[in-house]
Amino acid sequence: MGKVVTREEAAEVRRKAGLEGSKVVFTNGCFDILHRGHVEYLRSASGLGTILIVGVNSDLSVRRVKGDRRPIIPLEDRMAVLASLEFVDYVVSFEEDTPGQLIDAIVPDVLVKGGDWQRTEVVGRETVERNGGRVEIIDFLEGYSTRGIIEKIAAMYGQGSEKGV
């Protein structure tokens, strides 16, 4: 099994980890145009346990959540880039708008979200806490966002400039 797995394979990874006493950490996102903020966030998440599983919104899910012009990067490529990070153990996609069903299937020990979330709003929190796990909120690295990158590119090329292409 490689790093890019199915929902069923991710659940099996979790089951085996529990038997071995390993702590499974789960986080999720669109990860469209992976940037330093994403990398630092994922590195921090990985330090909260033994195995880091990253859930990634499918292309259709990203469109529903972020709008018709997204994603910029297709799912297969986003997953491949995430899987190339040494501190990411597994990557799994989900079609739904939220990772709730995926979290129900995996039931991680630690559920991680970014600093723009309130603990009580975190999808999957109840499943994780009911099973003895915890939710961790990690602050974002200021100045890094996919939206900011897209806006910068639009400003640079939206005015018809060919410089820097």
Q: Does residue 2 sit within a domain?
A: no
Average pLDDT estimate for 118-135? 94
Q: Which pLDDT does position 61 carry in this prediction?
A: 97
Strand partners, 134: 110
- CA-CA distance, 44 to 141, in Å (whole number)? 11
Map residue 135 onto helix, strand or coil. strand
* N- to C-terminal Cα separation, the chain: 39
In a domain? residue 165: no
Helices vs strands, H then E, count in the chain: 7, 5
Give the separation between CA 165 and CA 161, rounded to whole angstroms: 9
Residue showing tokens 């992976």: 34
Q: What's the structural domain count of the chain?
A: 1
- Give CA–CA dist 132/84, Å, rounded: 31
Q: Structure tokens of 125? A: 């929190």
Asked if residue 164 belongs to a domain, the reply is no
1 part of a folded domain: no
Q: What angle do CA 118, 120, 125 make, to 5 degrees?
A: 110
In a domain, 163, yes or no: no
Span 149-163, pLDDT tens digits:
888 888 888 754 444
C-alpha span between 85 and 4 (Å, rounded): 12
Q: Which domain holds residue 111?
A: 7-157
Structure confidence at residue 159 (pLDDT): 53
83-99 mean pLDDT: 98
Q: Is the pLDDT of residue 78 over 90?
A: yes
pLDDT 10s digits, 4-18: 999 999 999 999 999
Q: Considering the entire predicted model, what is its pTM? A: 0.90
Residues 22-50 have a mean pLDDT of 96
User: Is 62 a domain residue?
Assistant: yes
Of 41-45, 125-129, 149-153, the one with minimum mean pLDDT is: 149-153
- The reply to whether 50 falls in a domain is yes
What is the number of other CB atoms lying within 10 angstroms of the CB of residue 101?
14
Between residues 162 and 25, the one the model is more confident about: 25
Asked if residue 130 belongs to a domain, the reply is yes
Q: Residue 69 is part of a domain; what is its CATH number?
A: 3.40.50.620
Mean pLDDT taken over the chain: 92
